[in-house]
Amino acid sequence: MKDAVFLIASAWKEVTMRCLCAAWKPLWPECVLQRDFEGFEELEEAAVVHEIVSLGNSMGLEVDDDDDVEDTVELSTEELLELHKEENETLKRSLTSEESGEDEDKEESRIIPSKDLKDVFFCWSKLSKLAEDYHPDVGSVEKAISVFNDNVVERNRMTKNRNEKRESLRTCDEKQNGVNREIESKDGRRRGEGN
């Protein structure tokens, strides 16, 4: 009997406050603490918001007032994902509007050779792989890679494809012109022989 009591006491020591709260909440919700952060003291929301504002300012971010931070702190995961999506779309629209404002002549003068574009893609793939493998903040790396891929790499891929199409059209035109010249020279010789 004594061993049984010791085993029960030993097992009871293993039960955490979190486990107790989870077990009692469906049975008697009034007796369960609403917030139980083991090992952490509860901070007032105003102190947390003030700390976030001061950290943002020390990092060089433009954090104007506590209201902006309070709104962000209260956002759910879905709202944050939607906000991130909207920011990316706004950035894409601004880049697209800048690109569409350029003249075709300016674009012609800024043609990047295909070899250079291939080098850029190779270097970017190596750099992004290194960042993914070794940077401690995986979320920031994925976001940066995604934004860069969407805005820069994709545009350069389109430019590369356009350059390759132009090159193949130019090659076809040159071949056609060569064939036309050959036909004209043969026609000219025939006319000369016929006289």
Least confident of 6-20, 62-76, 147-161: 62-76
* Amino acid residing at 175: K
3 phi, psi to nearest 5 deg: -60, -40
Which structure tokens are listed for 105?
Answer: 């002549």
For residue 192, what pLDDT is reported?
Answer: 61
CB 99 within 8 A of CB 155: yes
- Above 70 in pLDDT, residue 4? yes
The pTM for the full model equals: 0.30
CA distances from 9 to 12, 13, 18 (A): 5, 6, 18
* Amino acid residing at 55: L
C-alpha angle 47/48/54, rounded to 5°?
Answer: 90
| pLDDT tens-digit map of 90-140 | 777 776 665 555 544 455 556 777 788 788 888 888 988 898 888 888 888
173 or 99, which is more confident: 173
The gap between the terminal CA atoms of the chain, to the nearest Å, is 131
pLDDT above 90 as % of the chain: 1
For residue 180, what pLDDT is reported?
Answer: 62
Residue closest to 167 by CA, chosen among 117, 93, 97: 117
User: What mean pLDDT comes out for the span 182-188?
Assistant: 66
36 band by pLDDT with thresholds 50, 70 and 90:
low
For residue 105, what pLDDT is reported?
Answer: 47
- Above 60 in pLDDT, residue 38? no
Mean pLDDT taken over the chain: 73
CA dist., res. 74 & res. 42, Å (int):
17
